Amino acid sequence: MTKSNNAIEVKNMYKDFKLIYDKPNTLKERLVFWKSTKKEYRSVLKNININIKKGETVALIGTNGSGKSTLLKLMTKIIYPTKGTIKTNGKLTSLLELGAGFHPDFTGRENIYFNASIFGLTASEIDKRVDDIIKFSELEEFIDAPVRTYSSGMYMRLAFSVAINVDAEILLIDEILAVGDQHFQDKCFEKLEQLKSSGKTIVIVSHSLGSVKKLCNRGIWIYDGEVRLDGNIDDVVSEYLKVCG
Task: Give per-residue pLDDT as tens, 88-124.
Answer: 999 999 888 766 678 999 999 999 999 899 888 999 9
Residue 96 lies in a domain: yes
**How far is residue 219's CA from residue 186's CA, in Å, rounded to a whole number?**
21
Kindly tell me if the per-residue pLDDT of 200 is higher than 50: yes
Residue 67 lies in a domain: yes
Kindly tell me if the per-residue pLDDT of 15 is higher than 90: yes
Residue 155 lies in a domain: yes
- What is the reported pLDDT for 185? 85
**How far is residue 90's CA from residue 199's CA, in Å, rounded to a whole number?**
12
Mark residue 138 as left, alpha or beta (left: phi above 0; alpha: psi -120 to 50; beta: remaining).
left
Residue 28 banded pLDDT, cuts 50, 70, 90: low
Residue 213 lies in a domain: yes
| Residue-range definition of the domain harbouring residue 183 | 6-244
Residue 111 lies in a domain: yes
**How far is residue 88's CA from residue 229's CA, in Å, rounded to a whole number?**
22
Q: How many domains does the chain have?
A: 1
What mean pLDDT is reported for the chain? Answer: 89
- What is the reported pLDDT for 129? 96
Query: Mean per-residue pLDDT for 139-168?
Result: 92
Reference 118, options 142, 100, 140; nearest CA is 100
Residue 1 lies in a domain: no
Name the DSSP letter for residue 131.
Answer: H
Distance of CA 199 to the CA centre of its chain: 19
Residue 101 lies in a domain: yes
Residue 137 lies in a domain: yes
- What is the reported pLDDT for 1? 45
Kindly tell me if the per-residue pLDDT of 3 is higher than 60: no
Alpha-carbon Rg for the chain in angstroms:
20
Kindly tell me if the per-residue pLDDT of 74 is higher than 90: yes
What's 104's domain CATH number? 3.40.50.300
